Amino acid sequence: MDKKVTVIGAGNVGATTAQRLAEKELCDVVLIDIIEGFSKGKALDLAEAAPIEKHDAHLIGANKYEASTGSDIVIITAGITRKPGMSRDELISTNAKIVRDVTQQVTATSPDSILIVVSNPLDVMCHVAYQTSGLRKTRVIGMAGVLDSARFRAFISMELNVSVENTHAFVLGGHGDTMVPLPRYSTVAGIPITELLSKERIDALVERTANGGAEIVGLLKTQSAYYAPASAAVEMAESILKDKKKILPCAAYLEGEYGINGLFIGVPVKLGAKGVEEIIEISLRDEEKAALDKSADAVRDLLKKLKNSV
């Protein structure tokens, strides 16, 4: 294949991301992990499934970054995951070191790549990757809003007993408890959910969306979500690889948009071959803008914690 994507971290999120990339025949895939043999075993297992799944993507597992040379996209999933009772914020110091090291390595071998950051706390890890890589802001993107919006869409579908294909949703802000689901921009077959559900039910879905990751951690006990995060990262990668120019909510670096400056936070962006090709500014009501500002402040506070921990 003429496209190459490297996935850093062969845990549940990384391995599932590699699987979805290969089975969609989007690219050849390199899976890298520091544990000896781990990524090689998973890549071989996925390669042996290829005759059944009917794809010709090549999968390589490696411990060294040389295998990633020339990647079009690098998806960073490496880092420790949440346990029950933990917030994403508690991962900050450990995962910052991991993301910093990973970014140094992959930008040395693939200086023209686009980085998709999945590691938590997401918005802060985007800053780490951006500052470490030296890449243009358009080439460092965080996977947050796509996942959060998918969760909101799933809950809307369950609530109304309609096809998920009819649902559309927007979730802005930081990837955490202060995320900002926007019900009036969320629709079923073009009908705003504010016309289909009571405020009480909408508020319940919004709250469940904000706590979506924690709900899964609580159920799984020893690990966090990985199917939906992997799908979200792959949707972003597909839009870039195919230059589809999809409008997706992603963590992007803002320089004045939405009145926010010098911060990665979730907003609608146009994703194409160049990465973030446009930041879409939608009209927000006062209470929506206040919620987005609150979310931005939470990301700034995390950045301060990171600086103080270094």
The rounded distance, in Å, linking the Cα atoms of 15 and 226 is 9
> DSSP of 61-91, one letter per residue?
EESSGGGGTT-SEEEE--SPPP-TT--GGGG
Residues 6+ apart with CB under 8 A from 107: 113, 132, 133, 134, 135
For residue 187, give both structure tokens: 């629709």
Active-site residue flag, 175: yes
CA-wise closest residue to 78 among 18, 32, 114: 32
Q: Which residues pair with 59 in a beta bridge?
A: 29
Provide the 3-class DSSP secondary structure of residue 163: coil
Residue given tokens 């358009």 in the structure block: 138
- Active-site positions read 175
